[in-house]
Amino acid sequence: MAKPELNLLSCAFSEFTKASDSLMTYYHSLETQIRQLKEQVEEKNNQLEKARKYLHTILDSLPVGVVVLEKGPEPVFSNKNAKKLNGAGFIDSLKSSGETFGELKNRTGCFRWRREALNNGFEGREVVVFEDVTQMEKMKERLERDERLRAMGEMAARIAHEIKNPLGSMELFLSMLQQSKLRKVDRKYVDYILFGVKAIDRVINNILSYTRPKTLVLQEERLADLVNDTVQFMKVSIKSRDISTRVETFHERPFVFDPDLMKLVMMNLFANAMDAIDEKGCITIAIKEDRGYVVVSVCDDGVGMTEEVRKSLFNPFFTTKDKGLGLGLFIVYNIVKAHGGYIEVESQPNTGSMFLIYLPEKRI
Ligand SMILES: Nc1ncnc2c1ncn2[C@@H]1O[C@H](COP(=O)(O)OP(=O)(O)OP(=O)(O)O)[C@@H](O)[C@H]1O
Ligand SMILES: [Mg+2]
């Protein structure tokens, strides 16, 4: 090969080597950049994942349910509380409603909700926030009941007091009349009137004794023993009927209460449960503890009651029975109240009822 050509070739090689060196350097720098970019993307992904987890933790720890809805049947997002409460078919009923806020009551409780359309690129979606206000509603109902029964009790006591004096005089004069010489038929009439007067007197005494503030005769006992004894005693009257009874004890410790009055509570609740069962049924009584309270639940699978009946249950003289006086639950209410406790009732027509008596385990 001629020298000029050799020089040319060597020049070309050196240029090629230079170019390939610079390519290599460029490639390495690109590689470094890609690695750095990858690391940055990974870091950003980690940060995003952390932010997502943080947001979900916050949303899950909220005491309310948060749901994001789109067109489809399933929510796009539900926080922990929403998943818990959604079982009640809450979202389905919400979808069909055109309201933007409201209150919803079903068998699982009472919920207050509000919905808001999303924007900033999330158009077409809406967020629904709902709050379980069951406990709050129960407490509100209890306070209203306390106020109503206090006023009713006061009025009943005042009326009873006013009736009692003339009734006493009537009874006295009737007894005097009974001792005088009377025709047989007149004596019979006097007997009838006296019978009626005595019946009214019994009712009045009942009202007076259960509307006055109670003085409790306290003793330390196991409530489970008292419940078992009362059930055994009451069972005598259901012998001829197909009613089974069950007592479940989850609280054994003795605590302070008035045994005679608590027996009266149990007897009234048991009698009502028996009345609620038509032909065949079961009464279950359980003793448990719940946040510092001893709870006795009396549950029957009888006729149950409407919401209307449930709201008036404790009113004096409220009864749906032909031979009922409507004083049983008023008495129960007053006794439980005197113990510093409270009552809750859950019931559905044709399903049964459950009365829950909450008694504070420690008296203040
Ligand atoms: N377990 C129950 N299941 C269904 N309804 C009930 C139950 N307990 C009470 N009720 C309803 O509440 C009403 C009031 O009960 P409450 O015990 O105060 O009076 P009563 O049973 O009618 O009469 P009494 O004064 O003889 O007890 C009842 O008439 C009944 O309608
Ligand atoms: Mg009763």
Type of residue numbered 275: D
Closest ligand relative to 299 C-alpha: 1
The answer to the question of residue 232 being in a domain is yes
Does residue 194 share a domain with residue 88?
Answer: no
Contacts 24+ apart (CB under 8 A), 269-272: 269/298, 269/332, 269/355, 269/357, 270/230, 270/231, 270/234, 270/298, 271/234, 271/328, 272/328, 272/329, 272/355
Ligand 1 atom closest to Cα of residue 313:
12
Tokens of 257: 């209460």
Residues 249 and 329 occupy one common structural domain = yes
Give distance in angstroms: CA of 335 to centre of ligand 1.
16
Q: How far is the CA of 236 from the centre of ligand 1 (A)?
A: 20
Instruction: List the Cα angle 142/285/315 in 5-degree steps.
Output: 30
The Cα–Cα gap between 174 and 65 comes to: 69
Listed residue (364, 357, 361, 335) closest to 256, CA to CA: 361
Q: Which H, E and C letters describe 274-323, residue by residue?
A: HHHCCCEEEEEEEEEEECCEEEEEEEECCCCCCHHHHHHCCCCCCCCCCC
Q: How far is the CA of 282 from the centre of ligand 1 (A)?
A: 17
pLDDT confidence of residue 364:
67
Q: Which residue has the higher pLDDT, 87 or 272?
A: 272
215 C-alpha to center of ligand 1: Å?
Answer: 25
Residue nearest to atom 19 of ligand 1 (CA): 326
- Measured by CA distance, the residue closest to atom 1 of ligand 1 is 273
**Which residue from 207, 268, 329, 335 has its CB within 8 A of the most atoms of ligand 1, so it is best to mutate?**
329
Res. 105 pLDDT band, cuts 50 70 90: confident
Can you give the pLDDT at residue 4?
85
Q: Which of 2-6, 249-253, 288-292, 325-329 has the lowest mean pLDDT?
A: 2-6
- Percent of the chain topping pLDDT 90: 60
pLDDT value at 87 more than 60 = no
In a domain, 180, yes or no: yes
Q: What residues line ligand 1, using a CB cutoff of 6 Å? A: 268, 272-273, 276, 300, 302-305, 309, 313, 318-321, 324-330, 353
| Number of other CB atoms surrounding residue 331 within 10 Å | 22
Out of 92-101, 169-178, 211-220, least confident range: 92-101
Rounded to an integer, the average pLDDT of 156-160 is: 87
Query: Which of residues 78, 108, 132 is at a domain's end?
Result: 132
Are 296 and 230 found together in one domain?
A: yes
CA 271 to ligand 1 centroid distance, Å: 9
Of the residues 93, 111, 132, the one at which a domain ends: 132
- Cα 240 to ligand 2 centroid, rounded to whole Å: 20
**164 is a domain residue:** yes
Task: Tell me phi and psi for residue 84, to 5 degrees.
Answer: -65, -45
Quick one: which ligand is closest to 149's CA?
1
Verify that 174 and 239 share a domain, yes or no: no
Instruction: Please give the number of the atom of ligand 1 that sits closest to the Cα of 324.
Output: 23
Boundary-marking domain end, from 108, 132, 156 = 132
* Cα–ligand 2 centroid distance for 128 (angstroms): 44
Is the pLDDT at 80 greater than 80, yes or no? yes
Is there a single domain that holds both residue 69 and residue 105?
Answer: yes
- Both 224 and 354 in one domain: the answer is yes
Of all protein residues, the one whose alpha carbon is nearest to atom 4 of ligand 1 is: 304
Q: Give the tokens for residue 140.
A: 């509100």
Say how many Å lie between the CA of residue 321 and the centre of ligand 1: 7
Domain count, the chain: 3
> Under a CB-based contact definition with an 8 Å cutoff, are residues 93 and 120 in contact?
no
The residue whose C-alpha atom lies closest to atom 12 belonging to ligand 1 is: 313
Residue 4 within a domain: no
268: CATH: 3.30.565.10
| Span from the CA of 361 to the centroid of ligand 1 (angstroms) | 27
Helices (H), the chain: 3-61, 80-86, 90-95, 134-179, 184-211, 223-235, 259-276, 307-312, 328-338
Residue 327 CA: nearest ligand 1 atom is 25
Q: Stretch 55-73: mean pLDDT, rounded?
A: 89
Q: Ligand 1: which atom is nearest the Cα of residue 304?
A: 4
For atom 27 of ligand 1, the residue with the nearest CA is 328
For residue 88, pLDDT over 60 is answered with no
Residue 184 sits in a domain of what CATH number?
1.10.287
Containing structural domain, residue 243: 219-360
The rounded mean pLDDT for the chain is 90
For ligand 1, atom 8: residue with the closest CA: 272
pLDDT, tens digit, 9 for 90 and up, residues 222-273:
999 999 999 998 888 777 788 999 999 999 899 999 999 999 999 999 999 9
Identify whether residues 311 and 228 lie together within a single domain: yes
User: Strand 219-221 and strand 352-360: pairing?
Assistant: unpaired
> The tokens of 95 are what?
């979808």
- Position 45 in a domain: no
Confidence of residue 31 (pLDDT cuts 50, 70, 90): very high
Q: What percent of the chain has pLDDT over 70?
A: 97
What is the band of 61 on the pLDDT scale with cuts at 50, 70, 90?
very high
> Tokens 């259960």 identify what position?
210
- Domain check: are 336 and 235 in the same one? yes
What would the pLDDT profile of 272-311 be if each residue is shown by its tens digit? 999 999 889 999 999 999 999 999 999 999 999 999 999 9
Atom 9, ligand 1: residue with shortest CA distance = 272
Q: Are both 155 and 267 inside the same structural domain?
A: no
Write down the pLDDT at residue 82: 85
Average pLDDT over residues 322-337: 91
